[in-house]
């Protein structure tokens, strides 16, 4: 198979820009010449990489798969060239980790310290993002590992063979609010029929934990008593609003252990309103980095 590395750069530019004109401008060539190079790449691979009838331009299923390979190849190529030119002598390897916002602030630092012997040779680059964005980053090869929540209600749509995972810990998804007195009586109670029109601190549409919450409340009369007062995609943001007494928020218990211990927040519903959550670590086997492969093997041995 014969094709040029510049075609891979063209492909990655178009996949990101989703527009032939902008991608051609980014690659400093005319649009007709750019289109010919994309077509040449598709002919060399004997597949269609882009759905040109969509607006903006979208990757086909084959294009999505090739995107991972192309990004991996170009990253390794650029790194090798830098080292050969002496621009990065003895450079410490960087491990790119994406994590759900609440995990990045709470669970990740302790987990990294617990496995310090596995990470001490790495430079870790942590990016906090929502679960959906993290899954996209993993699919596209923009991160090496992904640390997110996993539940029995709305499992992530990831092929277990391509995206294997490791269970790291467990927590519980619980409803909380501010107490109304020193005895820890919650301002709102999900189990008290006298409490009506309970203000809900909700997750924004598309948030992973929002799907979990909707399934907890599905077909239950309680949903008639809840009215959305505030919403955000981040559990940390909902915790902050709950601390202000704005309403009831469902958050992972690991995010509020200190607040519960100090009495700043209290659980305001029985176990029927709780849901188990697991914390999992994912990787993509299509990204063939020997150092990451070795690290995954060591993590697997440490966890299982």
Contact criterion met (CB below 8 Å) for 175 and 283: no
Contact criterion met (CB below 8 Å) for 200 and 248: yes
Give the residue among 145, 130, 275, 139 at the shortest CA–CA distance from 208. Answer: 130
CATH no. for 5-84: 1.10.10.10
The pLDDT value recorded for residue 121 is: 81
Residues making up the chain, counted from first to last = 304
Residue 287 has pLDDT above 90, yes or no: no
- 3-class DSSP state for residue 205? coil
The pLDDT value recorded for residue 180 is: 93
Mind listing the pLDDT tens digit for each residue in 31-58? Answer: 998 999 999 999 999 999 999 998 899 9
The pLDDT value recorded for residue 11 is: 93
Of all helices (H) and strands (E), which one includes residue 99?
strand 93-99
Of the chain, the percentage scoring pLDDT greater than 70 comes to 93
Residue 87 has pLDDT above 60, yes or no: no
- Kindly indicate the confidence band of residue 86, based on its pLDDT and cuts at 50, 70 and 90: low
Triad 94, 97, 98: Cα angle to 5°: 150
Q: What is the average pLDDT value for the chain, to the nearest integer? A: 88
- Kindly indicate the confidence band of residue 189, based on its pLDDT and cuts at 50, 70 and 90: very high
CB-hemisphere CA count at 13 Å for 133?
12
Average the pLDDT over 104-131 and give the result: 89
Average the pLDDT over 204-217 and give the result: 89
Q: What is the largest CA-CA distance in the chain?
A: 74
DSSP 20-66: HHHHHHHTTS-HHHHHHHHHHHHHHHTS--EETTSSS-EE-HHHHHH
- CATH 3.40.190.10 given to domain 93-168+279-303: yes
Contact criterion met (CB below 8 Å) for 145 and 99: no
The pLDDT value recorded for residue 152 is: 74
Contact criterion met (CB below 8 Å) for 250 and 227: no
Of the options 1.10.1240.10, 3.90.550.10, 3.60.20.30, 3.40.190.10, the CATH number for the domain spanning 171-277: 3.40.190.10
Report the alpha-carbon distance of residue 92 to residue 123 in Å, rounded.
Answer: 6
Of the chain, the percentage scoring pLDDT greater than 90 comes to 52
In the block, which residue shows the tokens 């990787």?
283
Triad 206, 207, 213: Cα angle to 5°: 110
Residue 92 has pLDDT above 70, yes or no: no
Backbone angles phi, psi at 120, to 5 degrees: -65, -20
Give the residue among 241, 281, 261 at the shortest CA–CA distance from 100. Answer: 281
The pLDDT value recorded for residue 194 is: 77
Domain parsing of the chain, residue ranges: 5-84, 93-168+279-303, 171-277
Domains 5-84 and 93-168+279-303 share a fold: no
Q: How far apart are the first and last CA of the chain?
A: 41
The pLDDT value recorded for residue 225 is: 85
Tokens of 5: 């590395």
């Amino acid at each position: 198979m014969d094709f040029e590395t510049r075609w891979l750069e063209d492909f990655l530019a178009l996949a990101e820009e989703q527009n032939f004109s902008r991608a051609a401008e980014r690659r400093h060539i005319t649009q007709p010449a750019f289109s010919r190079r994309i077509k040449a790449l598709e002919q060399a691979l004997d597949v269609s990489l882009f759905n040109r009838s969509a607006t903006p331009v979208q990757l086909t299923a084959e294009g999505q798969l090739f995107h991972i390979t192309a990004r991996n190849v170009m990253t390794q190529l650029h790194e090798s060239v830098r080292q050969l030119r002496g621009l990065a002598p003895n450079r410490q390897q960087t491990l790119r980790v994406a994590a759900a916002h609440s995990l990045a602030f709470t669970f990740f630092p302790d987990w990294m310290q617990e496995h310090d012997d596995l990470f001490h040779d790495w430079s870790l680059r942590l990016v906090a993002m929502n679960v959906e964005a993290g899954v996209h980053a993993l699919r596209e090869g923009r991160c090496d590992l992904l640390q997110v929540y996993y539940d029995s209600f709305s499992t992530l749509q990831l092929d277990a063979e391509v995206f294997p995972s490791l269970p790291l810990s467990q927590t519980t998804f619980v409803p909380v609010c501010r107490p109304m007195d020193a005895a820890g009586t919650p301002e709102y109670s999900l189990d008290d029929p006298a409490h009506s029109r309970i203000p809900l601190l909700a997750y924004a549409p598309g948030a992973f934990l929002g799907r979990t919450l909707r399934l907890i409340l599905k077909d239950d009369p309680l949903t008639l008593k809840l009215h959305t007062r505030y919403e955000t995609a981040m559990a940390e943001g909902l915790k902050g609003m709950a601390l202000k007494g704005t309403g009831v928020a469902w958050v992972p218990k690991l995010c509020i252990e200190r607040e519960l211990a100090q009495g700043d927040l209290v659980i305001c519903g029985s176990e029927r309103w709780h849901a188990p959550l697991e914390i999992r670590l994912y990787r993509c086997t299509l990204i063939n980095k020997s150092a990451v492969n070795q690290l995954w093997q060591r993590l697997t041995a440490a966890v299982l």
